[in-house]
Structure 1
């Protein structure tokens, strides 16, 4: 083996092997002198080839993301009934849908606002999917309109059904008013566009608290929180959780992952 290949091999194994050896071996694998020499070789190689640190960093990030997704997926499976079959949750799509996209959102969240047109694209491209909207007004304590818009949305859902709810949902985001800029007039106009002329926010505190508790149980820490999963037979390999806004392409890729033969 050539010297540079030998050095590369030592570097790639040294970082993981030394830490594992110390953690699990009952006796040291190398003497202190040997460890010191290996460390010198590794350090010299890294100085000459800093690009290997980028490779190692990417690999660690991939491993961390895989672990995080596994934890999310297990939480989703524990809570799938509340995610998929809550009668208080606005749902849009066919009754026999095999896959679901679930969004936890706040109408004043700027990232939710950026995600809204991406979701709208996917809803047009993937009409056979069930879309569930979990109103989670996490900014309600800061901006009253956040809570009012969520309450109004659930009233639209109850009185007018799925199509008009989606109309309301998209109309709110179409204002471009977020982070404290949404007004009562915006909310009333969106409700009117959805066909609710005698508009009032309604009282849905219990539903909103239920959504908040569910989001926390799933490990979500902010909005948007997006879950893509099969309606039945979900496994960690078919569940994707996005704890942030994503593009329509990534969302559609997650839908394809959910439709894998199980």
Structure 2
């Protein structure tokens, strides 16, 4: 057998060495920054100047982010409402107006001192007239009670009227109290007494309403509401993400009607 030519052996050795060294050099290059600190600073200056010339892009990005956050919030609140469906719909100590065999319910969490709730009240009244087949559930949630005592007094009186005098008397009281226009600290015990008188409630037993108010407070927070009004539109049974609509704040009558229609159709009404 002949010996390998020295030139071939030397060339092959060099090729092998180059091949074995390539990965090391490639990894080292990958670890190096793409830009120098000076280049990065310049790129930042250019980007800043461009954004200042096109601020509409920042507005668009902010709006997109807000929509993503809102959609995530609505998804979480809808999931929570479905999880707590039984508590939301079947508390007999809470005012509920409308047929017991209704397919759809509108649940409102409210405080009589809340200015947005006061504006929402006539909207709810109109919605009730247009939808006698829907059950309306009123969750007394006196979130301003820590600041203004009449919030608690008004809520407790409303619950007592419901439990002792029924739905008609409760609605007269409810609407009369909002019609007073006394909100944001202006509501008084006298307003509460006059509204009860307008509802012909008579003398009420001084039943403790703390348990009911506490359940509503826990339910509202578990659902994700951070203030009043908070409105949920959902079927009375078999609620799904497609049949539940959440309004964390006031809503126009048309929006509420659309939510009722969606829940009614999808609930097989």
1:153 positional shift: 0.5
Alignment match, 1:126: 131
Distance 1:71 1:129 in 2: 25
Q: Please say which structure displays the higher CA radius of gyration.
A: 2
Alignment match, 2:34: 32
Alignment match, 1:114: 119
1:64 positional shift: 1.5
Call closer, same or farther: CA 1:200–1:146 in 2, change over 3 Å: farther
Alignment match, 2:99: 94
Native 8 Å contact 2:177 2:191 kept in 1: yes
Distance 2:167 2:70 in 1: 34
Native 8 Å contact 2:113 2:144 kept in 1: yes
Aligned length: 233
Return the match for 1:144 from 140, 149, 152. 149
Distance 1:242 1:111 in 2: 13
Return the match for 1:158 from 143, 146, 163. 163
Alignment match, 2:25: none
For structure 1, the 5+ residue unaligned runs are 1-27
1:45 positional shift: 5.9
Deviations 1:119-143 (A, max 9, x none): 1121122222111011111222222
Native 8 Å contact 1:77 1:235 kept in 2: yes
Structure 2 length normalisation: TM-score? Answer: 0.78
Native 8 Å contact 2:112 2:177 kept in 1: yes
Alignment match, 1:175: 180
Distance 2:34 2:171 in 1: 66
Aligned residues: CA RMSD: 2.5
1:189 aligns with 2:194: yes
Structure 1 length normalisation: TM-score? Answer: 0.79
Matched residue SS, 1:237: coil
Distance 2:180 2:82 in 1: 36
For structure 2, the 5+ residue unaligned runs are 1-29
Return the match for 1:229 from 226, 234, 238. 234
Matched residue SS, 1:220: coil
1:148 positional shift: 1.0
Distance 1:115 1:161 in 2: 22
1:220 positional shift: 1.5
Native 8 Å contact 1:188 1:199 kept in 2: no
Distance 2:75 2:228 in 1: 20
Distance 2:133 2:57 in 1: 45
Alignment match, 1:259: 264
